[in-house]
Amino acid sequence: MHRLIIFASGQGSNAQAIIDYFKKEGGVEVVLIVSNKAEAGVVNMAQREGIPYLLTNNKRLNETLILEELAGHNPSLIVLAGFLLKIPSAIIEAFRGRIINIHPALLPKWGGQGMWGHRVHHAVLEAGELQSGITIHLVDEEYDHGATLLQATCPVISGDIADTLAARIHKLEHFYYPRAIQFLLSNMAEE
């Protein structure tokens, strides 16, 4: 059985898509959800799904205690799904190559510090891009910078606003993120 830890700060629709996918597919258990927002939808979801969750903040994220807690769950992958705090280098170092993120645009454009949520979609729309999409990538010490694992595109449609583009991109995310995780896990030994 592969174990996943999901980090998320928002509504958690990607976390939900991943959980639902592996409920059907089997072989993968989400063992912990980490969030920095007690009132986030993803925390409700963890409660509803009966998945243990851990509330953190910037300070706690940088303490060795959390590193030990994460390591104690022995995850195959740590999956960032809309997590807004920077992952400390000690965590990246401990799980190098095993932390992945999803970004709601085609990196390397439209990424970096402060580029999250609707800000990304506004920037894409303002630039008059004809397509946008998603990037699933390894996490390294820089925001939105690690090696790309998968990109998928969707059109920007005339009349789009950030909400309509975000909804189209969420559909791509919900389809591809669980499958990308499954593919990565298929090349990893189970412990």
Catalytic residues: 103
* Residue found under tokens 């400390």: 88
**Residue 164 is a binding residue for ligand GRF (CB under 6 A):** no
**Minimum CB–partner distance for residue 56 and ligand GRF (Å):** 16
- Given the complex with ligand GRF, which of 100 and 185 has the nearer CB atom? 100
C-alpha closest to that of 5 among 38, 51, 58 = 51
x/- string (CB under 6 A) for ligand GRF, residues 101-130? -xxx--------------------------
Task: Name the one range near ligand GRF by CB under 6 A: 7-15, 22-30, 52-60, 152-160.
Answer: 7-15
The contact pattern for ligand GRF, residues 65-84, with x = CB under 6 A and - = no contact, is ----------------xx--
**Least CB distance from residue 188 to ligand GRF, whole Å?**
23
Phi, psi of 70 (to 5 degrees): -65, -50
The Cα 92–Cα 102 span in angstroms is 16
Distance between alpha carbon 66 and the CA centroid of its chain, in Å? 18
How far from 18 is each of 13, 14, 41, 62, 182, CA to CA, in Å? 9, 6, 15, 27, 10
13 binds ligand GRF (CB under 6 A): yes
* Least distance in angstroms from the C-beta of 84 to ligand GRF: 8
Query: Could you tell me the sign of the dihedral formed by the alpha carbons of 78, 84, 85, 89, in that order?
Result: positive
- Which residue ranges make up the site for ligand GRF (CB under 6 A)? 8, 10-14, 81-82, 102-104, 173
